[in-house]
Amino acid sequence: MPERTAVRPLRVCALYPDLMNIYADRGNLIVLQRRCAWRGIGFELAASGLREELDGDAYDLLYIGGGQDRDQRLCAQDLIDTKRAGLRAAAARGAVVLGVCGGYQLLGHSYTLDAQEIPGVALLDVRTVREPGPRLIGNVAIEVQLQDAPGQSPAWADAQAEDGFKGAAPGGGRYVLAGFENHGGRTYLGAGQQPLGRVLRGHGNDGRSGAEGARAGNVIGTYLHGPLLPKNVWFADWLIARALHVRASELAVLDDALERQTHMSACHAAGV
């Protein structure tokens, strides 16, 4: 076991964990919990469901998973009514906000479905539209550039370089995220909105643009299920570090042999 790390506990809040949890997205929370525990970092998990106000000061990381259209409709209005102010306050003070698929869509301006515009919390400058056409389904791999990470985990940079991912040389700041997508909505980025990454394989935001997800500082949206974090534990570490305002290199290095295989196999499934 690595030595205990003297950082404060990670305070996490899962939004609508019962309704927005398609593809067992709660696996993302379990990864965060385990990786903190293995390092001796405290982990506090709270949930915020329908009709519950959200305290904008209480959490370091807020998570909203994927959902069916029906459940998304239920949550969208509640998000505006009871959580928008708290979410915006949390984002403004640098908390990590991570939305996956349906959760990602709700972090944008709107999700247009059956001619009805369901409003989102507008933390990301994106709009999602359910257009005619097939659902965008399949394994997906994207390249993300995390140059602004003050201390990208050197162990994982080395691992990815060794595993032969192009451009993943240590210090290059480019990493591969792999997962699985299944969405009917097509997401369009506003003019100045940065995507989370560039599609290597799969559909991404809209099946055409080559962009996947969106990122504004510590607010991140992505279509990658998998769940996302078990397949990409280096990204879990990056999020933990961002949420705790420490460098990723300050986190104790874990034995990630199995996790690396998991990442490799997710990448191979996507064809990279």
Residues in touch with ligand GLN (CB under 6 A): 22, 66-69, 72, 101-102, 182-185
Q: How many CB atoms lie within 10 A of CB 43?
A: 17
Distance in Å, CB of 183 to ligand GLN, minimum: 4
Please state, in angstroms and rounded to a whole number, the distance separating the CA atoms of residues 265 and 251.
25
Indicate the residue among 152 and 222 with the shorter CB distance to ligand GLN: 222
* β partners of residue 216: 219
* Residue 46 burial by Cβ neighbours in a 10 Å radius (0-12, 13-18, 19+): middle
240 or 270: whose CB is closer to ligand GLN? 270
The whole-angstrom separation of Cα 63 and Cα 96 is: 8
Q: How far is the CB of 16 from ligand GLN (least distance, A)?
A: 12
Contact 79, 121 (CB under 8 A): yes
Beta carbon of residue 100, minimum distance to ligand GLN (angstroms, whole number): 7
Question: Among all residues, which ones are annotated catalytic?
Answer: 101, 225
Cβ 65 to ligand GLN shortest distance, Å: 7
- Residue 182 or 194: which CB sits closer to ligand GLN? 182
User: Are the CB atoms for 168 and 189 separated by under 8 Å?
Assistant: no
Residue (35 or 183) nearer to ligand GLN, CB: 183
